[in-house]
Chains A and B, each alone.
Chain A
Amino acid sequence: MIEARGITKRFGEFVALDDVSVEVPTGSLTALLGPSGSGKSTLLRVIAGLERPDAGTVLLDGADVTGRPPQKRGVGFVFQHYAAFKHMTVRDNIAFGLKVRRRPRAEITKRVDELLELVQLKGLAKRYPAQLSGGQRQRMGLARALAVDPRVLLLDEPFGALDARVRKELRAWLRRLHDETHTTTVIVTHDQEEAMEVADRVVVMNAGHIEQAAPPRELYDSPANEFVMSFVGPVNRLGDAFIRPHDVELLLEPNGATQEAMVERLVHLGFEVRVELVRDDGEELSVQLTREQAEALELMQGQIVYVRPTRQTVFAPEA
């Protein structure tokens, strides 16, 4: 279990983390989600020991590790830009942690072979990082971090530098890996889709604070505030109310509870249709329908329709 209590970290004038406290349950896959500058990477690095906090403590399984250097924390770290040892082969990269611990040669070879198999880099053991693709380098990075059986695995935007298709593949692969190994894992990402898809628990961060920490479903259905709601999914704002695009009913006839609106644009996104509307009071509204619903309504640009939110959220004003 990872516990961070009251962590504050400043870089010159800039406050990256402001009295942040978070708990990561043992065996879970937790995502730190937030925009750039929210402090999520900094928090991860503080947990790893790559940054020293100005205040606060870090506990791993109950032990206070705040003063310990990264070498002594038993964490595995995976970097966004791979941090591959470019002068070593793939095999030597993966073996590094074991060699540093002076494990016997036979053990190292066996373990590296297992990991090469696990990350599907079997035929590439003798290559150098410069000869691998981005996705392959990152799998090597993961294997390298896992080689020493860390009790905690920390990933800093691990798929950020890869293109979309590879990102999705590795994301799914990471989740499967976690389901097998159950290592306590923390992943930092700015991609809400990634966080929601992969994690058991998501910690939403903003400007050095934690906005909410909850399982993905809860974040989506019961967001703590405006920021969280807007960040984890698309949202319409009408006055004080926040409405999800799929929580709007679209009718062809008014029924007393609806409001008039005009279809400005129809965007066909394969299986979904996004209808961009303007209400008669000038407010813009974005509604998401399934293809069947859209076809049933026979929507056209310029058409007048009637809308009614089926669900909306209003947040208490911040004190």
Chain B
Amino acid sequence: MAARPEALPLPRVRPSGGAALTAGLSTAYLSLVVLLPMAALVWAAREHGSWRAVSSPQSVAALKLTVFISFAVAVVQAVAGTAVAWTLVRDRFPGQSVVNAVIDLPFALPTIVTSLTLLALYGPRSPVGVHAGFTRWAILLALLFVTLPFVVRTVQPVLVELDREMEEAAASLGASTLMTFRRVVLPNILPAVLSGVALAFARAVGEFGSVVLFSGNSPFKTEVASVYIFGRIESGDSAGAAAVSVVLLGISLAVLLGIGAIRRRATRHDG
């Protein structure tokens, strides 16, 4: 597509009934489905006594564990995801298209099935002798599984578009392959990597289904935030659950904003 003069303000399409209807319907739907429930959540969190749930040692442990592991997962995926994307774009081997399709498996597979499959392979009856079930490693494995596609899929299109001649220029100027990667390729794929990291982190922080069977959910040891919140709901303490949810959401948003800021800084050279 040739560059469009995007700067030209597009005249508002004639304010027809159709436009109003479309906008109206969308807004109504969005309000009913997303906005109202979220408002109810925030409102419930304000209830008296909900803070007790947030500040309880068990809750704090769950939040700490969740954030820490999610962060670790995001970092691992940043590296591994980039490596996988590179192999898929720059390398050539038989079965490549199958591998490419399989990347999306964690997205397509229901989380509870993920839990079950990881349990089958790395749990107590593991055929390969790895017993990671009911430990923190279990959480790590489950989260690595479900967040696998994110960085790979955000980096792939950027690698495809990347001007190979920049790398050739670097080589002709004397840079080794590693140096070329570090100084030329990486800065240009960094925004995409960060987008993927943000998505991975957001997913990991809230993950429930894939962790629930596999990690054992023991408080202070392997209980993640979403499981703790679930526990509060089952105990009838919805206000407490809401409060912790809001805190979790706040942490997610803060991290996402932070990543967004880094991303903006990394793309400041774009014209």
Contacts and interface: CB of A to CB of B under 8 A. Distances in A.
Determine whether A and B are in direct contact in the complex, meaning some CB atoms lie less than 8 angstroms apart: yes
Interface of A: 48-50, 69-71, 75-77, 79, 81, 83-88, 96-97, 100-101, 128, 130-131, 141, 144-145, 147-148
B199 interface: no
Given A86-B269, A130-B269, A48 B172 contact: yes
A87 B269 contact: yes
Interface stretch (B37-45, B128-136, B173-181): B173-181
B234 interface: no
B270 interface: yes
Contact of B173 (A86, A130, A148): A148
Given A85-B184, A128-B271, A79 B165 contact: yes
A77 B169 contact: yes
A79 B270 contact: no
28 contacts: A48-B172, A50-B168, A70-B168, A70-B172, A71-B172, A75-B172, A79-B169, A81-B165, A83-B166, A83-B168, A84-B166, A85-B169, A85-B183, A85-B184, A86-B188, A86-B269, A86-B270, A88-B187, A97-B173, A97-B174, A100-B170, A100-B173, A100-B179, A100-B183, A128-B271, A130-B269, A130-B270, A147-B173
A83 B175 CA distance: 15
Interface of B: 163, 165-166, 168-176, 179, 183-184, 187-188, 269-271
Contacts of A71: 171-172, 174-176
B168 A100 contact: no
Contact of A83 (B169, B179, B183, B188): B169
Given A86-B269, A130-B270, A130-B271, A69 B171 contact: yes
A69 B179 CA distance: 14
B166 A144 contact: no
Nearest to A74: B174
A131 B176 contact: no
Q: Which 6 A-B pairs have the closest CB atoms?
A: A130-B271, A83-B165, A97-B173, A77-B172, A83-B169, A87-B187
Nearest to B186: A87
B171 A100 contact: no
Contacts of A144: 169, 173
Residue picked from B172, B188, B270, most chain A C-beta under 10 Å: B172
Given A100-B175, A144-B173, A77 B168 contact: yes
A76 B171 CA distance: 10
B150 to A, nearest CB: 23
Contacts of B165: 79, 81, 83
B172 A50 contact: yes
A87 B170 contact: no
A77 B173 CA distance: 8
A76 B183 CA distance: 19
A84 B188 CA distance: 12
Contacts of B188: 86-87
Contacts of A86: 166, 188, 269-270
